[in-house]
């Protein structure tokens, strides 16, 4: 089993996800969004499952700094904006095979780890 985690090293939720999988000896591929943004294609997978609204960190500092509270973008424009500025994402984004989660989702991760 190998999971891919998108997030930042300083984010507590991302650190909790990394710790969760490390404690269970699951191999992780960590993508630090401060160093490398997720591609629009990768983000599109999450958008198809959860929708753009679930990926936006509307309560985050970066969202407020950019003044996006009143923005009414199309989904395509939001995906482009998230690809350009990954600090707007709700993290961690976790992927295992074709299964995805946004934010802390320990119950779902437990199911993944328990799966044969």
- Measured from the Cβ of residue 45, the count of other Cβ atoms closer than 10 Å reads 15
Q: What pLDDT is stored for residue 23 in this prediction?
A: 96
Average pLDDT on 74-80 reads 91
pLDDT number for residue 85: 93
Could you tell me the CATH number of the domain that includes residue 30? 3.40.30.10
* Inter-CA distances, 114 with 29, 43, 107, 109, Å: 19, 26, 11, 9
pLDDT score at 70 = 87
Range of the domain at 94: 2-114
Token duo for residue 99 = 């299964």
Claim: this prediction has a pTM higher than 0.85: yes
32 pLDDT exceeds 80? yes
Average pLDDT over residues 76-93: 93
Q: How many CB atoms lie within 10 A of CB 100?
A: 17
Q: What is the pLDDT of residue 115?
A: 83
How many structural domains does the chain have? 1
Mean pLDDT value of segment 33-57: 92
CA dist., res. 17 & res. 108, Å (int): 12
Q: What is the mean pLDDT of the chain?
A: 93
pLDDT of 116 higher than 80: no
Q: Which of 45, 96, 116, 81 is nearest to 108 (CA)?
A: 96
């Amino acid at each position: 089993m190998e999971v891919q985690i998108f997030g930042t090293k300083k984010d507590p939720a991302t650190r909790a996800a990394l710790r969760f999988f490390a404690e269970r000896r699951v191999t992780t591929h960590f993508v630090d969004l401060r160093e490398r943004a997720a591609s629009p294609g990768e983000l599109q997978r999450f958008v198809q499952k959860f929708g753009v609204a679930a990926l936006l960190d509307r309560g985050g500092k970066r969202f407020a700094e950019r003044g996006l509270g009143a923005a009414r973008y199309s989904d395509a424009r939001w995906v482009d904006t998230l690809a350009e500025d990954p600090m707007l994402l709700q993290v961690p984004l976790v992927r295992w095979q074709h299964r995805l989660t946004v934010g802390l989702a320990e119950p779902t991760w437990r199911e993944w780890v328990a799966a044969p």
